[in-house]
Amino acid sequence: MKAAPAPRPENPPAPFGDLSRASIAELGELARSVWTHRVKSDGYKRRAGIRRLFGHLETLPGETWQERWEASGFNREEAPGVSILGRPGSRIDPSDLASALRMAFAARIIQPSLPGFRANKFSTYPESFRLLQKDPDLDAFFEIVDAQHHLTAIRRARAKFDLACVLTTQGIAMEHLTPSALLHYSLESKRLGLTHGANKDTTRFAALGAWEILHKMGHFPPGSPPTLRTSVYDGQRSIEELVDRYGVKNAAVRQLLIDYLTRRKAETDYNTLESLSRHLAGHFWALIEELNPGQRDLNLSQELYDQWRAEIQYWRKDGKSDRTKIRKDTPVAGPRPARRGPLRAPGQPVGTRPGGPAGGILRARGPPL
Q: Where are the domains of the chain?
A: 24-230, 238-369
Strands 323-325 and 314-316: antiparallel
Rg of the chain's alpha carbons, rounded to an integer?
27
Q: Look at 48-52, 100-104, 255-259, 326-330 and tell me which has the smallest mean pLDDT.
A: 326-330
Say what the pLDDT of residue 182 is.
Answer: 96
Region 314-323 average pLDDT: 43
pLDDT band at 267 (very low <50, low <70, confident <90, very high): confident
Picking from 22-26, 67-71, 234-238, which range would have the lowest pLDDT averaged per residue? Answer: 234-238
Catalogue the E-assigned strands of 109-180.
none
Percent of the chain at pLDDT > 90 equals 50
Write the CA distances from 259 to 32, 90, 266, 284, 353, integer angstroms. 61, 63, 12, 17, 19
Average pLDDT of the residues in 128-141: 96
SS3 276: helix
Q: How many other CB atoms are there within 10 angstroms of residue 72's CB atom?
A: 21
Mean of pLDDT values over 332-354: 38
Average pLDDT over residues 175-194: 93
The per-residue pLDDT for 61 is 97
Q: How confident is the model at residue 89 (pLDDT cuts 50, 70, 90)?
A: low
Top pLDDT among 271 and 151 is at 151
